[in-house]
Amino acid sequence: MKKLTLIGGAPLAGKTTLSKKIAKEENAVELSTDSIRSWMKNILNKDDYPDLFCTSGMSAEEFYEKFTTPQSVVDEEIAEGVDVAKGVVALLNTGISWEHLVIEGIAVTPQLIVELKEMFSDREVEGYIVVDTDETRIDTRIRGRGLWGPLDTYPESLIPREVEWVILYNRWFEEQAKKYGVEIKYI
């Protein structure tokens, strides 16, 4: 039987680390929703997917001028993720054959995991949401590496705003995982 593993969560929660671990242990193909997002931006029309293209070409400063609250950032990330989820479904519907595919990214939401389990009931589908509830660790990780990009590529004054929305986004993923009955892996 073909197997699909889905891993979602907020930025820096550990999705990629878990994905790489599973892929290595189970000899699986690993794919990030970041790649799917990039492919979609190369082939789709901006007018048809406004949330997918909403932040394209913005600097960190422009992004935080447009999205002024942590909740507005999370709302935009969720909206963009809905568009990217359409690309995930389209990819899975292509009939590409795999023994085990691991897809990770912020576009993998608890709702998408439940929907894909129903859509692909002929496959073994498992899903996890990775959540970090340690606000100090989130702050330290973002201050240590940046979120928008490497620390030297945007103003350090934006770091506290990044910390705020990542904390909020972790809470959202945790709430949604509980709502949809998806397994949570706390780090």
User: What CATH number is given to the structural domain containing 155?
Assistant: 3.40.50
Of all residues in the chain, the percent with pLDDT exceeding 70 is: 99
For residue range 52-100, what is the model confidence (pLDDT) as tens digits? Answer: 999 999 999 999 999 999 999 999 999 999 999 999 999 999 977 889 9
Which CA distances in Å does 83 have to 49, 67, 97? 7, 19, 24
Q: Kindly report the length of the chain.
A: 187
Q: Is the dihedral of CA 149, 150, 152, 158 positive or negative?
A: positive
Mean pLDDT of the chain: 95
CA–CA distance, 54 with 168 (Å, rounded to integer): 21
Range(s) of the domain holding residue 48:
3-186
For residue range 119-144, what is the model confidence (pLDDT) as tens digits? Answer: 999 999 999 999 999 999 999 999 99
Alpha-helix runs per DSSP H in the chain: 15-26, 33-43, 50-53, 60-66, 70-92, 110-119, 135-145, 159-180
For residue range 20-30, what is the model confidence (pLDDT) as tens digits? Answer: 999 999 999 99
CA–CA distance, 73 with 69 (Å, rounded to integer): 7
- Structurally, the chain folds into a number of domains equal to 1
Asked if the model's pLDDT at residue 1 lies above 70, the reply is no
**Nearest alpha-carbon partner for 158 in 60, 59, 55, 58:** 60
143 with 115: CB under 8 angstroms?
no
